[in-house]
Copies of this chain bind each other. A is one copy, B any other.
Amino acid sequence: MASVNKVILIGNLGKDPEVRHLEGGVAVARFPLATSETFKDKNGQRQEKTEWHNIVLWRGLAEVAEKYLRKGQSVFIEGKIRTSQYQDKEGNQRYSTEIVADQMTMLGSKGEGGSTSGNYQEQSASAGGYSGGGNTATAGKGASSAFQNDEPDDLPF
Protein backbone atom coordinates (compact mmCIF):
# COMPACT_ATOMS: atom_id res chain seq x y z
CA MET A 1 0.00 0.00 0.00
CA ALA A 2 1.25 3.42 0.99
CA SER A 3 -0.28 5.11 -1.99
CA VAL A 4 -1.23 8.64 -2.84
CA ASN A 5 -2.78 9.78 -6.13
CA LYS A 6 -3.64 13.43 -5.95
CA VAL A 7 -4.13 16.13 -8.55
CA ILE A 8 -4.64 19.83 -8.01
CA LEU A 9 -5.68 21.98 -10.94
CA ILE A 10 -6.72 25.55 -11.50
CA GLY A 11 -7.84 26.22 -15.03
CA ASN A 12 -10.62 27.26 -17.37
CA LEU A 13 -13.42 25.20 -18.84
CA GLY A 14 -12.99 24.65 -22.56
CA LYS A 15 -16.70 23.84 -22.96
CA ASP A 16 -19.88 23.77 -20.96
CA PRO A 17 -20.08 20.61 -18.86
CA GLU A 18 -21.69 17.64 -20.55
CA VAL A 19 -23.96 16.00 -18.01
CA ARG A 20 -25.53 12.56 -18.05
CA HIS A 21 -28.09 11.29 -15.59
CA LEU A 22 -27.61 7.57 -15.25
CA GLU A 23 -30.17 5.00 -14.23
CA GLY A 24 -30.59 5.37 -10.48
CA GLY A 25 -30.40 9.13 -10.66
CA VAL A 26 -26.63 9.32 -10.56
CA ALA A 27 -25.25 12.33 -12.40
CA VAL A 28 -21.91 12.45 -14.21
CA ALA A 29 -20.44 15.61 -15.64
CA ARG A 30 -17.46 15.98 -17.93
CA PHE A 31 -15.60 18.92 -19.34
CA PRO A 32 -12.15 19.77 -20.67
CA LEU A 33 -10.10 22.05 -18.45
CA ALA A 34 -7.20 24.11 -19.74
CA THR A 35 -4.13 24.93 -17.74
CA SER A 36 -1.43 26.96 -19.41
CA GLU A 37 2.09 27.88 -18.60
CA THR A 38 4.24 30.51 -20.21
CA PHE A 39 7.95 30.14 -20.65
CA LYS A 40 10.73 31.72 -22.64
CA ASP A 41 12.13 29.69 -25.51
CA LYS A 42 15.81 29.63 -26.47
CA ASN A 43 15.34 32.92 -28.34
CA GLY A 44 13.95 34.61 -25.25
CA GLN A 45 10.49 34.72 -26.81
CA ARG A 46 7.58 34.24 -24.47
CA GLN A 47 5.68 31.10 -25.36
CA GLU A 48 2.49 29.66 -23.97
CA LYS A 49 1.68 25.99 -23.75
CA THR A 50 -1.78 24.79 -22.90
CA GLU A 51 -2.53 21.48 -21.29
CA TRP A 52 -6.01 19.98 -21.58
CA HIS A 53 -7.40 17.80 -18.80
CA ASN A 54 -10.50 15.63 -19.00
CA ILE A 55 -12.41 16.33 -15.82
CA VAL A 56 -15.06 13.94 -14.51
CA LEU A 57 -17.42 14.78 -11.66
CA TRP A 58 -19.92 12.50 -10.00
CA ARG A 59 -23.22 12.96 -8.21
CA GLY A 60 -23.36 16.15 -6.16
CA LEU A 61 -20.35 17.67 -7.85
CA ALA A 62 -21.82 16.86 -11.26
CA GLU A 63 -25.05 18.59 -10.33
CA VAL A 64 -23.23 21.67 -9.14
CA ALA A 65 -21.26 21.68 -12.38
CA GLU A 66 -24.45 21.36 -14.40
CA LYS A 67 -26.03 24.32 -12.65
CA TYR A 68 -23.15 26.71 -12.26
CA LEU A 69 -20.19 25.91 -14.47
CA ARG A 70 -19.91 27.32 -17.96
CA LYS A 71 -17.30 27.48 -20.67
CA GLY A 72 -14.55 29.92 -19.84
CA GLN A 73 -15.01 29.86 -16.10
CA SER A 74 -12.12 29.29 -13.77
CA VAL A 75 -12.24 26.43 -11.27
CA PHE A 76 -10.07 24.76 -8.69
CA ILE A 77 -10.22 20.97 -8.94
CA GLU A 78 -8.82 18.44 -6.55
CA GLY A 79 -8.99 14.80 -7.49
CA LYS A 80 -7.12 11.80 -8.73
CA ILE A 81 -5.75 10.51 -12.00
CA ARG A 82 -7.53 7.60 -13.60
CA THR A 83 -6.51 5.94 -16.83
CA SER A 84 -9.06 3.73 -18.52
CA GLN A 85 -8.33 1.11 -21.13
CA TYR A 86 -10.59 0.57 -24.07
CA GLN A 87 -10.48 -0.97 -27.49
CA ASP A 88 -10.67 1.28 -30.51
CA LYS A 89 -12.57 0.27 -33.65
CA GLU A 90 -9.56 -1.57 -35.00
CA GLY A 91 -9.37 -3.59 -31.80
CA ASN A 92 -6.25 -1.89 -30.49
CA GLN A 93 -5.76 -1.25 -26.82
CA ARG A 94 -6.14 2.46 -26.09
CA TYR A 95 -5.78 4.53 -22.97
CA SER A 96 -7.74 7.53 -21.84
CA THR A 97 -6.64 9.56 -18.85
CA GLU A 98 -9.11 11.52 -16.76
CA ILE A 99 -9.14 13.51 -13.56
CA VAL A 100 -11.88 12.31 -11.24
CA ALA A 101 -12.68 15.27 -9.02
CA ASP A 102 -13.44 14.98 -5.35
CA GLN A 103 -13.43 18.68 -4.66
CA MET A 104 -14.35 21.62 -6.85
CA THR A 105 -14.25 25.32 -6.13
CA MET A 106 -15.52 27.96 -8.52
CA LEU A 107 -13.15 30.86 -8.96
CA GLY A 108 -15.29 33.11 -11.13
CA SER A 109 -14.85 34.19 -14.71
CA LYS A 110 -14.36 37.39 -16.63
CA GLY A 111 -16.88 39.97 -15.61
CA GLU A 112 -18.01 37.95 -12.65
CA GLY A 113 -15.14 38.26 -10.22
CA GLY A 114 -15.35 36.24 -7.05
CA SER A 115 -19.08 36.59 -6.85
CA THR A 116 -19.82 33.22 -8.34
CA SER A 117 -17.35 31.43 -6.17
CA GLY A 118 -18.21 28.47 -4.02
CA ASN A 119 -16.73 25.38 -2.50
CA TYR A 120 -18.12 21.94 -3.17
CA GLN A 121 -16.75 18.80 -1.76
CA GLU A 122 -17.42 15.22 -2.63
CA GLN A 123 -18.18 13.20 0.45
CA SER A 124 -18.05 9.52 1.11
CA ALA A 125 -20.70 7.50 2.86
CA SER A 126 -21.57 3.89 3.42
CA ALA A 127 -22.46 1.58 0.56
CA GLY A 128 -25.47 2.72 -1.40
CA GLY A 129 -25.99 5.59 0.94
CA TYR A 130 -26.92 9.16 0.51
CA SER A 131 -25.50 11.13 3.37
CA GLY A 132 -27.66 14.23 3.42
CA GLY A 133 -25.98 17.17 5.06
CA GLY A 134 -22.35 17.34 5.98
CA ASN A 135 -19.85 20.10 6.35
CA THR A 136 -19.72 21.06 2.73
CA ALA A 137 -19.61 24.70 1.74
CA THR A 138 -22.31 25.92 -0.59
CA ALA A 139 -21.63 29.61 -0.98
CA GLY A 140 -25.18 30.65 -0.21
CA LYS A 141 -26.51 28.94 -3.29
CA GLY A 142 -27.83 25.78 -1.78
CA ALA A 143 -27.16 23.03 -4.27
CA SER A 144 -24.25 21.18 -2.76
CA SER A 145 -25.16 17.87 -1.23
CA ALA A 146 -23.17 14.92 -0.14
CA PHE A 147 -23.10 11.74 -2.13
CA GLN A 148 -20.88 8.76 -2.17
CA ASN A 149 -18.31 8.48 -4.88
CA ASP A 150 -18.23 4.77 -5.67
CA GLU A 151 -19.18 5.00 -9.29
CA PRO A 152 -19.98 1.88 -11.28
CA ASP A 153 -17.02 0.38 -13.04
CA ASP A 154 -18.42 0.12 -16.52
CA LEU A 155 -20.16 3.21 -17.69
CA PRO A 156 -22.00 3.68 -20.95
CA PHE A 157 -19.59 6.32 -22.25
Q: Which residues of A contact B (CB under 8 A)?
A: 1-12, 34-40, 42, 44, 46, 51-53, 74, 76, 78, 80-83, 88, 90, 92, 94-97, 99, 105-115, 117-119, 121, 123-129, 131-139, 146, 148-150
Whether A10 and B76, one on each chain, are in contact in the complex, defined by CB atoms closer than 8 angstroms, is yes
Which residues of B are found within 8 Å of A95, using beta-carbon distances?
A: 95-97
- Are A119 and B81 also in contact (CB < 8 A) when A74-B107, A134-B124, A146-B126 are? no
Task: Determine which of B5, B114, B125, B131 lies in contact with A37 in the assembled complex, contact meaning CB atoms within 8 Å.
Answer: B5
> Are A3 and B125 in touch, CB under 8 angstroms?
no
The distance in angstroms between the C-alpha atoms of A88 and B90, with both chains bound, is 12
Chain B residue contacts of A88, Cβ below 8 A: 92
Q: Known contacts A76-B10, A108-B108; decide if A119 and B3 are in contact (CB<8 Å).
A: yes
> Which residues of chain B have C-beta atoms less than 8 A from A81's C-beta?
7, 51, 53, 81, 97, 99
Count of chain copies: 4
A92 CA to B89 CA in the complex, in Å?
12
Instruction: Give the docked Cα–Cα distance between A140 and B26 (Å).
Output: 31
The residue of chain B having its C-beta at the shortest distance from the C-beta of A111 within the complex is: B113
Contacts of A139 in B (CB 8 A): 1-2, 38
Residues A8 and B8 in contact, CB atoms below 8 Å apart: yes
Contacts of A4 in B (CB 8 A): 8-11, 35, 76, 78, 105
Given the known interface contacts A114-B74, A127-B40, the answer about A3 and B137 at a Cβ–Cβ threshold of 8 Å is: yes
